[in-house]
């Protein structure tokens, strides 16, 4: 069973809390320590960004993190090494890569997915590859034993949601509002139809991203039917604002994770 499937099994009754950071921000050594702190704080799954120069799906907070990492000279090879190190320390925590298409095709699709698999990643989400372009990416991912995470948006038509349900793996990244990543606005679409279509088609578990920055966002997403949430910009922002961020980070992750225990909270 994949690490994602094992995790969702283990969590039955509570939501998965996914924590995102940009690898190499503020530098490689501190990224390793931050990844450990995410797990210590209670994150169930980890999402890591490989910094790209032109992240069009990201808002200012994550753009700035990518810019900082690139300014330090962080490369995809460094990121794979960080993931491999994390995997050695945490054999069971699912790790997904979030990145952009040009970094994948520049290395060569198969070479990219092979390296990601060798590093111990579980999935790859390519932010600028929609379902219509996903086939060669998803095939290469599966060839190397990785889950191709696909994005479902609340404006995605039902027949395409069905295809996303069939083609995707690991989890389904659900975008609950318009716009780029960022912590400033919470979910705004009516996403009941999207979740219905995904569940009807046995999609990988729906996990909400975009605008998850406070415990009430976590509770609202899970109440709406999400199997988990991913918090990105709020974490990246917290890291950027503290000289010694680890204590505040652990506390924030713990509070967000606590909000996934909706049965106990209810």
Give residues in contact with other proteins (CB under 8 A): 52-57, 59, 63, 67, 70, 75-77, 100-107, 127-133, 150-153, 155-157, 160, 164, 175, 178-180
Of 178 and 223, CB closest to other proteins: 178
* 48: nearest Cα among 27, 91, 4, 18: 18
Instruction: For residue 192, give both structure tokens.
Output: 């009941």
Of 59 and 170, CB closest to other proteins: 59
Based on the number of CB atoms within 10 Å of its own CB, is 20 exposed (0-12), middle (13-18) or buried (19 or more)? buried
Whether 237 is catalytic is no
Q: Please, are residues 229 and 222 in contact by the beta-carbon 8 Å criterion?
A: yes
Of 93 and 153, CB closest to other proteins: 153
CB of 63 vs other proteins, minimal distance in Å: 6
How many Cα atoms are found within 13 Å in the side-chain-facing hemisphere of 80? 16
How many Cα atoms are found within 13 Å in the side-chain-facing hemisphere of 69? 29
Cβ count within 10 A of residue 139: 14
Of 11 and 126, CB closest to other proteins: 126
Based on the number of CB atoms within 10 Å of its own CB, is 101 exposed (0-12), middle (13-18) or buried (19 or more)? middle
CB of 93 vs other proteins, minimal distance in Å: 26
CB of 51 vs other proteins, minimal distance in Å: 8
Whether 81 is catalytic is no
CB of 132 vs other proteins, minimal distance in Å: 5
> Which is the catalytic residue, given 47, 78, 122, 147?
47
> Which is the catalytic residue, given 14, 25, 44, 58?
58
- The CA angle 126-127-130, to the nearest 5 degrees, is 85
Rounded distance between C-alpha atoms, residue 240 and residue 13, angstroms: 33
Of 133 and 216, CB closest to other proteins: 133
CB of 32 vs other proteins, minimal distance in Å: 20
Could you give the residue numbers annotated as active site?
47, 58
């Amino acid at each position: 069973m994949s690490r994602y499937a094992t995790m969702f099994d283990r969590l039955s009754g509570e939501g998965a809390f996914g924590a995102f950071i940009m690898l190499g921000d503020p530098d490689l050594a501190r990224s390793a320590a931050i990844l450990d702190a995410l797990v210590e704080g209670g994150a169930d799954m980890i999402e890591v960004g490989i910094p790209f120069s032109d992240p069009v799906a990201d808002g200012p907070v994550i753009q700035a993190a990518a810019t900082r990492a690139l300014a330090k000279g962080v490369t995809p090879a460094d990121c794979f090494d960080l993931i491999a190190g994390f995997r050695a320390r945490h054999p069971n925590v699912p790790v997904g890569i979030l990145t952009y298409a040009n970094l994948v095709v520049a290395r060569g699709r198969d070479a990219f997915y092979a390296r990601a698999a060798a590093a111990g990643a579980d999935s790859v989400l390519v932010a600028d590859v929609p379902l219509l372009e996903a086939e060669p990416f998803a095939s290469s991912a599966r060839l190397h034993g990785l889950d191709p995470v696909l994005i479902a948006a609340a404006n995605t038509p039902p027949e395409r949601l069905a295809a996303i349900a069939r083609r995707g793996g690991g989890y389904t990244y659900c975008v609950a509002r318009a716009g780029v990543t960022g912590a400033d606005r919470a979910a705004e679409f009516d996403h009941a139809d999207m979740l219905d279509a995904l569940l009807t088609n046995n999609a990988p578990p729906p996990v909400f991203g975009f605008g998850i920055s406070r415990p009430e966002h976590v509770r609202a997403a899970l109440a709406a039917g999400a199997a988990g949430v991913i918090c990105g910009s709020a974490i990246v922002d917290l890291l950027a604002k503290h000289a010694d961020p680890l204590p505040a980070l652990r506390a924030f992750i713990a509070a967000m994770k606590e909000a996934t225990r909706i049965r106990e909270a209810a």
